[in-house]
A and B are shown apart, each in its own frame.
Chain A
Amino acid sequence: MVTTKLEYSHTIGIASFEGRGFMNPIDLKYKNGTLFVLSRSNASNKNNRISAVTVDSEHKYEFANWGEDKGKSILPTAIVFDKNDKLYLSDEHLNRISIFDYNGNFIDSWGEYGCDSGQLNRPSGLAFNKQNELFIVDHLNSRVQKFDEKGKFISSFGLFGTNEGEFNYPWGIALDIEENIYIADWRNNRVQIFDSNGNCVKIIKNFNDSEFNKPSSVHIDNRGYLFVSNWGNNSVIIFDDKQNYLSEIFGDASLSKWCQEFLDVNPEQSSWRENAGLFEEEKKFWKPAGIETNENLIFISDSCRHRIQIYRK
């Protein structure tokens, strides 16, 4: 049965420069009962990190904090797990892919700046195929490159432009079960779908009589449903497995457990919030980015509100 309305579940997260909470979360992945949330942070505060949390708001550990050393990051953009539960992290300042184990221990890193095959210029979205080959949206080189898990270049497709198969500052990437490749072609305001050989097979520019506005992230769930973060319009668009439009959501956040605890111990802040009375505004997405799903839930990183909004499938 096709559902056209998502049911909101709950929210996790709180704005936090360190420890429990997030700072501008832009990507996330769910693995073995744990949600890994990538905080982008900013240049001056240097609070980027990957936080491992549970869906019930338990902060477990964090890693990949600010720095140029191995195991650190400066301007992280995306995370993805390979089939061996290793987590890969892209960093668009360092032009580097870092690899961690499930517990956040650093394993290896690779990548160098450049425009030749295998080189990177601001890597962003990441996705693995069934052969454990890594696709990287090499966004300033306007291409998608494929590497083996050790970082050996295999192939690439795409070039800069607005025509079919061309990219303009692409961002997110996802693969469906048939290994078609979905790219959030950000500045072209469209999602492009490629076959596994990099041939463009479909372009989605419109939904429900509207147009995409800087789509940042794409995600395919186990039903083949397509989720697109419509970053420029602060919404998330859902399509079925035939890319038929289902619905658009703008956010339904309630106070997270961590936010509620913060307000409980800071009554003056709670009073300040009550006085403002912007409860409807508080619910809305502000620059939604990475999307993830598990069997039952949909996780949306709400990057300017420092939280993950969670819906039921």
Chain B
Amino acid sequence: MITSLDNKILLAHLLRRAGFGCTYDQIEKLSLMEYDDVVDLLINPEYGPPKDQDLLDRYFIASVEARTARHADPQWTWRLAKSEKQLEEKIALFWHGLLAVGGIKLDHGLAMLEEIDLFRKYGLGKFETLLLKISEDPGMMYWLDNQNSHKDAPNENYGRELLELFSMGIDENGEGSYTEDDVKTAARAFTGWASRPTPPPFFLGPFPMEFSFDKSDHDNTEKTFLGEKGNFNGNDIVNMIATHPSTAKFICKRLYLYFVSEKEDWDEINKLSEVFLKNNGEIKKVLEAMFKSEHFKSDDIRFKKVKSPSDLVFGVSRLVDKYKIPDLDSAELAINTLLMGQFLMNPPSVEGWHEGEEWIDSGSLIERINYASTEISNTSSTGVKRIIEIIKETNITNSNDLINNTLETLGYIDITDKTKGMIEEHLRKNKFTNKEDKILDVLKLIVSTPDFQYC
């Protein structure tokens, strides 16, 4: 039997993985619903601009005509920190890391924002639609040199990454379900797909990029792809690979690694692959099966995944509920993820980011601890005030009670007994002038622990 407390613990876990976490009060509110109903709510966001879009544009006018990824930051970070449609942003971040376009080479913040929005709009739908849309994305075409792919001289860059990194994948031996000839055929099928030239941004700022198809530069001859013959174009290639069993396994593996665990569990991945194939590659169906599975809810999964810099920064900013309307601080949130190793809208390569333990080194760990402890100590933040208020209201008779209540108020988070013992020891050795100082000290200690780096 699932108790009310169990339900809250599971909801907190779900929101940390399917989003960036939420406050104690938000969990209380959600706990009036069944867990499965919350999953259904998360996987069905209504697409549209945030209600504060006009304010973002007014206060950060340079992000409206974002010439670079850095100029575009205020637009995305606000939604990462504030959007109530958490999975919409989390899945956008997932696809941004998988169908990766590098902001430095593209050097077009407007195009990056368009791409992120494409992930919001199509990222939970059919994978085939998403793959087709990203193949028509002018930023992607430019990033992978497809404007240099001509019918008489195809450039294989997009065709290769489409198969190797975006859909079918390769195994640990470097082998895929496709051949080198399939890569060449895919490249031929995408000839003529490019981005329309835009004026340089150096005197009037950027102009929106647009997809263009040049029929005269498209290879319109018969091709052989994955053993089939036909006069295939890019749409046909996408159609043939989008629901291929190899694609199902590759995409479900990546979804599993991102949302569930850094350790591949092929029994679980295979189950998800079956859901993918049965539902024509509908991503939300895969996520529904994933989040509702007992495996996802198990103790083996909870607090075993390293938070990405975005998980940490936007999780903390949501926890402390610092921002009511866009301001200079919210506009610069991406600086924090950058210092922790994640340059939003500029993944390091077409492979995206290497996640898991690779996020942590001595430098990034210090940034993580400093950021979290600074924010949780800021008693002017609405969320910090509320956390202190909730803890003060509870019946606390000893240090153990204080620590447990604080963990619960921070979103039902877990720390090891060893860590708990160290905090108790600290509380024993130090005297506090008032209850609030003691609570603040415990808050700072908890967010500075290694345990807090996991979700």
Contact = CB atoms under 8 A, between A and B. Distances in A.
Interface of A: 14-15, 23-24, 26, 40-45, 74-75, 92-93, 140, 169, 171, 186-187, 214, 216, 232, 258-259, 262-263, 266, 269, 272-273, 275-278, 281-282, 286-287, 303-307
B203 A15 contact: yes
Given A43-B328, A186-B58, A232-B54, 10 more contacts: A24-B61, A24-B62, A26-B61, A42-B63, A42-B71, A43-B332, A44-B71, A187-B54, A262-B202, A276-B199
Interface of B is mostly: helix
Contacts of A287: 57, 61, 64-65
B204 interface: yes
B450 interface: no
Nearest to B327: A93
Contacts of B204: 14-15, 259, 282, 305-307
Contact of B203 (A14, A45, A214): A14
A75 B59 contact: yes
B174 to A, nearest CB: 39
B55 A169 contact: yes
A93 B328 CA distance: 7
A273 B199 contact: yes
A44 B332 contact: yes
Contacts of B178: none
A92 B55 CA distance: 13
A278 B62 contact: no
Given A43-B328, A44-B332, A305-B205, A269 B200 contact: yes
A214 B200 contact: no
Contacts of B198: 276, 278
B60 interface: yes
Contacts of A42: 60-63, 71, 74, 331
Nearest to A304: B65
29 contacts: A14-B204, A15-B202, A15-B204, A24-B61, A24-B65, A40-B62, A42-B61, A42-B63, A43-B328, A43-B331, A43-B332, A93-B327, A258-B203, A259-B203, A263-B203, A273-B199, A273-B200, A276-B196, A276-B207, A277-B197, A278-B207, A281-B207, A286-B65, A287-B57, A287-B64, A305-B205, A306-B203, A306-B204, A306-B205
A263 B74 CA distance: 31
A43 B329 CA distance: 9
Contacts of A44: 70-71, 73, 331-332, 335
Contacts of A278: 198-199, 207
Nearest to B208: A281
Nearest to B60: A42
Interface residues of B, number: 32
Contact of B74 (A15, A43, A262): A43
B71 A262 contact: no
Nearest to A255: B203
B197 A272 contact: yes
Given A42-B71, A44-B73, A304-B65, A15 B328 contact: no
A186 B54 CA distance: 10
B63 A275 contact: no
Contacts of B58: 169, 171, 186, 214, 216
B259 to A, nearest CB: 31
Contacts, number: 98
Contact of A304 (B64, B74, B196, B197): B64
B176 interface: no
Contacts of B57: 287
A95 to B, nearest CB: 12
Contacts of B74: 42-43
Interface in B316-337: 325, 327-328, 331-332, 335
Contacts of B54: 187, 214, 232
A25 B62 CA distance: 10
B419 to A, nearest CB: 37
Interface in B40-89: 54-55, 57-65, 70-71, 73-74
Nearest to B196: A276
A281 B204 CA distance: 11
A262 B205 CA distance: 13
B317 to A, nearest CB: 16
A17 to B, nearest CB: 11
Interface string B205-232: 1010000000000000000000000000
Q: Tell me which of A42, A272, A277, A281 has the highest count of chain B C-beta atoms within 10 A of its own C-beta.
A: A42
Contacts of A262: 202-203
B52 to A, nearest CB: 11
A282 B201 CA distance: 11
A42 B325 CA distance: 17
Given A287-B57, A303-B61, A272 B203 contact: no
Contacts of B59: 75, 92
Q: Tell me which of A15, A214, A282 has the highest count of chain B C-beta atoms within 10 A of its own C-beta.
A: A15
A272 B199 contact: yes
Contacts of B205: 15, 286, 304-306
B217 to A, nearest CB: 15
A45 B62 contact: yes
Nearest to B61: A24
Interface in B78-136: none
Contact of A74 (B63, B70, B328): B328
Nearest to B71: A42
Contacts of A41: 62
Q: Tell me which of A26, A44, A186, A259 has the highest count of chain B C-beta atoms within 10 A of its own C-beta.
A: A44
B142 to A, nearest CB: 13
A281 B210 CA distance: 13
A259 B55 CA distance: 31
Given A43-B332, A44-B70, A287-B57, A269 B63 contact: no
B378 to A, nearest CB: 16
B414 to A, nearest CB: 36
Contacts of A24: 61-62, 65
A169 B57 CA distance: 13
Contacts of A272: 197, 199-200
A178 B103 CA distance: 53
A143 B197 CA distance: 46
